[in-house]
Amino acid sequence: MVEKNSEEIYRQACEVLTGGVSRNTVYRKPFPHYAAKASGCYISDVEGTERIDFANNMAALIHGHAHPAIIEAVSRQLQRGTAYTLASEIEVAFAQLLNKRAKSFERIRFVNSGTEAVMAMIKASRAFTGRAKIAKAEGAYHGTYDYAEVSQTANPTNWGDINKPNSVPLVYATPKGVLDDVLIFPYNDIERTIAILDTQADQIACVLIDPVPHRVGLLQGTCEFIEAIYNWTRKNGALLVFDEVVTLRVKYGGAQEKYSVSPDITALGKIIGGGFPVGAIAGRADIMKVLDPRESNLRFPHSGTFSANPITMTAGYVAMELFDKDAVLRLNALTDKAIRQIEEVIRLVDVPVSLTGAGSMFRFHLTPTPPSTYREAYQTKEANAIINELLDFLYFNEKMLMINTFACMFSTVMTQKEIDKLSDGLLRAFRALKPKIEKLQNT
Amino acid sequence: MVEKNSEEIYRQACEVLTGGVSRNTVYRKPFPHYAAKASGCYISDVEGTERIDFANNMAALIHGHAHPAIIEAVSRQLQRGTAYTLASEIEVAFAQLLNKRAKSFERIRFVNSGTEAVMAMIKASRAFTGRAKIAKAEGAYHGTYDYAEVSQTANPTNWGDINKPNSVPLVYATPKGVLDDVLIFPYNDIERTIAILDTQADQIACVLIDPVPHRVGLLQGTCEFIEAIYNWTRKNGALLVFDEVVTLRVKYGGAQEKYSVSPDITALGKIIGGGFPVGAIAGRADIMKVLDPRESNLRFPHSGTFSANPITMTAGYVAMELFDKDAVLRLNALTDKAIRQIEEVIRLVDVPVSLTGAGSMFRFHLTPTPPSTYREAYQTKEANAIINELLDFLYFNEKMLMINTFACMFSTVMTQKEIDKLSDGLLRAFRALKPKIEKLQNT
């Protein structure tokens, strides 16, 4: 191919890809940049500009890019084939590896994406309980399955009374049946959530929880909240299911390790693919039986052409073997160090910015104290505009890539050097935008 | 890892994977076999038995396994990273390549599986038309999205009146809203289908058609049927959408090339991934605009962590570039040759077996004349038992792997040698099972 710059590639892209992109995430005004190569925690575009990658493909890469051990294992598997109509031993070895990480991961099934994992988890919950409805948190992102995306972007004009939040469609013309079958509750609000669940107590198949929901504000689910929901599900014949597609990275056994109670099923994805498309559900053996093809009355027939393909399994196995207990602790300690440096920067610049997060991930908020609910964390158009200015400043001036909610996802290949660049970059960005950020507080 | 045999691996698998498998497709009684390696049209299990692969990962591999050109291109990309939070040039080049194959592929969006593609296609249809309902053919498989899987396995005890087939849930406790929003019609039956569509004419977002639906019987949609449905959609403000996840292989421009009318959107998958997880939707630019992130009123917000990842795009680009017009013609000619040899075998053995199919795929039926409807093609428990005996005979005695519906999907790396083995193997299999197949006809 002739070498082109990003603007030229994007012009051609618009003629064949709708909006010129295949993922809205990568869109950037006036045009997205095209990656040429990436290695470790650095990514270079076709213009030759190298940036530190704090996005890690939307939190999917725990060891950064092109990790040598993953390349080596995948290269070996490539020679033996990438997809079979037979099983492969590596899927068993990988399931054994994941199974050890959390006691709730009794039985596993692999799929191709987080979206497919959440969909399978909801369908398994229905098949096990015989009920159709689910409950989920306002603002929480759980992939693109209709039921899972209700109220994902609820806003002040449509979210309704906090005591009974509306089921707000994400996609135009979402069937009414979907909206009717999804109950929305305010995250971390025990009293209101229980009252909402009680209104349909005998119809709820599962309560879907992300233990550190990114779009809700990257807030940690409190122990009290998770335990209250768990107890409610025990009393009412419902399942508690976790979306740990993003949050598995938080602790060795996922964010669920923090709680005294375990989910019945967990959806996994992102980092467990070692950089390749993946999803999985892991849960109680008796519940997962709804998927067992040996059952005479198979409640949930399910297959997938690329599920458990040996390339993803191989890459995932190597990635998760490397991300052992020590690696998790080291990465989280590094992230803590970064957060302390950033908090120092915020104090130094004296700018009303706060942080939320857990483990190796954190998100910035343009408020002096961190939000504690989705409605508090909700960003106005004005706040969003300033966040985009900050992200552009960091991207163009400081050569660093972040997630477009103004969040960072660390990888194990990062070092003090990248942390120092991050805090220095933020220092300049906050200084440059300080008047605008302050003005936002006063409006 | 210590070398184990398939039985031992499966025993361990049962302790961590529900039913011991991650795809029901690979399950085999009393235990599935585990692949060790595959190359071209041959696949070997861990016991060292090599078989001809006529399944090609459920029709997903058009050039067989480990094609050198794909390995080479993927190996190069591996060094540069497997997944970015930036766009990559190869996604544009690949979209350009696909765009040329069919005039209806005006704008493309990539996803991770055929399931995700059909789901996105249905959601795009709703978003464009503002309507919630869809119509689909009884018995047709379209992946694991609830709406797409209604009546996929409808049987005589639940399918109801052919003039108004029931919406039969596949998964236990499928929400009633899903069943109410899906109309079921009998494939290739113009009069009944139009009458059924007319009952909800102003509520149907799209009519979903696989032009050669495998589970319906691998029957080709007649020109009259497809054109009648197309005309109905034009008159009633609905979309005609095709599932060509399997059938793109049938002609250079997919099975749709045969018809005088084009679908509004097409779902793609399988072969376009070059052996890696993939899906895509391709359709009219004005409709695909519902996905365009630049629109101020974005009707269908949509993203995906691994969508358009550069490994899948690279492998898919190479695979589809190699599968050019000449390659399609050569492969289809080879398949025709195989079918003629097999028909000769059937005459020679004088066994009541018939064939359906198109392009590089065909399916066997244990009836003297091929079925022409889903209900005719529907296999009783008794027929299924004999098919499993035939498949076991071919698998164990003749060393060949087929799809468990008794179907073959050819790849470009096959030659006369494999065809001869196939017809010889079938000769022996049909001879061995002839009494049972004949008895089936008389019951």
Query: Is B3 within a domain?
Result: no
Picking from B12, B60, B180, the nearest residue to A305 by CB comes out as B60
Interface with A, mutate which of B17, B46, B408 (most A CBs under 10 A): B17
Q: Test A85 with B401 for CB contact under 8 angstroms.
A: yes
Looking at beta carbons, which residues of chain A come within 8 Å of B86? 26, 32-35, 43, 45, 401
**Residue ranges in A100-238 assigned as alpha helix (H):** 114-129, 176-180, 190-198, 223-236
Picking from B9, B82, B308, the nearest residue to A22 by CB comes out as B308
Q: How many CB pairs under 8 A join A and B?
A: 414
Tokens 């709708």 found at: A18
Of A181, A270, A374, A378, the catalytic one is A270
Contact B24, A303 (CB under 8 A): yes
Picking from A22, A112, A171, the nearest residue to B300 by CB comes out as A171
Query: Is A183 within a domain?
Result: yes
Residues with Cβ < 8 Å from A24, sequence gap 6 or more? Answer: B291, B293, B301, B302, B303
How far apart, in whole angstroms, are the C-alpha atoms of residue A400 and residue B367?
A: 65
3-class SS at A311? helix
* B144 → chain A, closest CA residue: A302
Q: Are residues B97 and B195 located together in one domain of the fold?
A: yes
Query: Is B371 within a domain?
Result: yes
Q: Test B89 with A60 for CB contact under 8 angstroms.
A: no
pLDDT at position B2 over 70:
no
pLDDT in tens, A379-395: 999 999 999 999 999 99
* B62 → chain A, closest CA residue: A83
Looking at beta carbons, which residues of chain B come within 8 Å of A141? none
Q: Are residues B228 and B195 located together in one domain of the fold?
A: yes
Which of A322, A349, A366 marks a domain boundary?
A322
pLDDT at position B149 over 60:
yes
The pLDDT value recorded for residue A339 is 98
pLDDT in tens, A55-66: 999 999 999 999
3-class SS at B136? strand
Q: Are residues A44 and A86 located together in one domain of the fold?
A: no
Q: Test A87 with B309 for CB contact under 8 angstroms.
A: no
Catalytic-residue membership of A243: yes
Query: Is B256 within a domain?
Result: yes
Q: How far is B219 from chain A (nearest CA, A)?
A: 21
Q: Are residues B171 and B95 located together in one domain of the fold?
A: yes
Catalytic-residue membership of A141: yes
Looking at beta carbons, which residues of chain A come within 8 Å of B21? 87, 293
Of A181, A210, A243, A264, the catalytic one is A243
Looking at beta carbons, which residues of chain B come within 8 Å of A396? none
The pLDDT value recorded for residue A441 is 85
Q: How far is A310 from chain B (nearest CA, A)?
A: 10
How far apart, in whole angstroms, are the C-alpha atoms of residue B161 and residue B140?
A: 17
Q: Are residues A248 and A262 located together in one domain of the fold?
A: yes
* The total number of structural domains that make up chain A: 2
User: Token digits for B316?
Assistant: 């898919």
B441 — pLDDT class (breaks 50, 70, 90)? confident
User: Token digits for B73?
Assistant: 């291109």
Q: Are residues B215 and B73 located together in one domain of the fold?
A: yes
How far apart, in whole angstroms, are the C-alpha atoms of residue B138 and residue B373?
A: 10
pLDDT in tens, A17-54: 999 999 999 999 999 999 999 999 999 999 999 999 99
Q: How far is A303 from chain B (nearest CA, A)?
A: 5
Q: Are residues B103 and B188 located together in one domain of the fold?
A: yes
**What CATH number is associated with residue B139?**
3.40.640.10
Q: Test A300 with B171 for CB contact under 8 angstroms.
A: yes
Of B53, B136, B141, B147, the catalytic one is B141
* A171 → chain B, closest CA residue: B300
Picking from B18, B79, B303, the nearest residue to A291 by CB comes out as B18
Query: Is B112 within a domain?
Result: yes
Which of B291, B322, B353 marks a domain boundary?
B322
Query: Is A12 within a domain?
Result: no
Bridge-partner residues for A185, per DSSP? Answer: A137
pLDDT in tens, A157-190: 999 999 999 999 999 999 999 999 999 999 999 9
Contact B20, B32 (CB under 8 A): yes
3-class SS at B160? coil
Q: Which percentage of chain B shows pLDDT scores above 70?
A: 100
A155 CB-contact burial (10 Å; exposed 0-12 / middle 13-18 / buried 19+): middle
Of B53, B181, B270, B317, the catalytic one is B270
Picking from A43, A60, A75, the nearest residue to B305 by CB comes out as A60
Q: Are residues B196 and B174 located together in one domain of the fold?
A: yes
Tokens 């409808």 found at: B154
* A95 → chain B, closest CA residue: B16
Q: Which percentage of chain B shows pLDDT scores above 90?
A: 98
CA B76 to chain CA mean position, Å: 30
Q: Test B22 with A65 for CB contact under 8 angstroms.
A: no
Bridge-partner residues for A355, per DSSP? Answer: A364
How far apart, in whole angstroms, are the C-alpha atoms of residue A305 and residue A123?
A: 19
Can you give the residue range of the structural domain that contains B366?
Answer: 33-62+324-441
Q: Are residues B233 and B126 located together in one domain of the fold?
A: yes
The pLDDT value recorded for residue B3 is 77
Q: Test A108 with B300 for CB contact under 8 angstroms.
A: no
Q: How far is B318 from chain A (nearest CA, A)?
A: 14
Cα–Cα nearest to A114, from B259, B303, B184: B303
Query: Is A22 within a domain?
Result: no
User: Token digits for A275?
Assistant: 């950089």
- What's the average model confidence in pLDDT over B298-303? 96
Looking at beta carbons, which residues of chain B come within 8 Å of A43? 81, 84-86
Q: Are residues B237 and B179 located together in one domain of the fold?
A: yes
How far apart, in whole angstroms, are the C-alpha atoms of residue B58 and residue B56?
A: 6
B443 — pLDDT class (breaks 50, 70, 90)? confident
User: Token digits for A65?
Assistant: 């890019």
**What CATH number is associated with residue A421?**
3.90.1150.10
> In angstroms, what CA-CA distances link B213 with A153, A291, A406, B216, B432?
37, 25, 46, 5, 30
Q: Are residues B81 and B220 located together in one domain of the fold?
A: yes
pLDDT in tens, B42-98: 999 999 999 999 999 999 999 999 999 999 999 999 999 999 999 999 999 999 999
Query: Is A176 within a domain?
Result: yes
Which of A322, A339, A371 marks a domain boundary?
A322
Q: How far is A224 from chain B (nearest CA, A)?
A: 31
Q: State the average pLDDT for chain A.
A: 97
Of B53, B181, B189, B243, the catalytic one is B243
Q: State the average pLDDT for chain B.
A: 97
Picking from B37, B92, B172, the nearest residue to A81 by CB comes out as B37
Q: Which percentage of chain A shows pLDDT scores above 70?
A: 100
pLDDT at position A1 over 70:
no
Q: How far is B172 from chain A (nearest CA, A)?
A: 5
pLDDT in tens, A110-137: 999 999 999 999 999 999 999 999 999 9
The DSSP code for B380 is P
* Beta strand B265-269 pairing with B279-283: antiparallel
Whether this prediction's pTM lies above 0.95 is answered by: yes
pLDDT at position A442 over 90:
no
> CA A224, A371, A376: angle at the middle one, nearest 5?
105
Q: Are residues A267 and A397 located together in one domain of the fold?
A: no
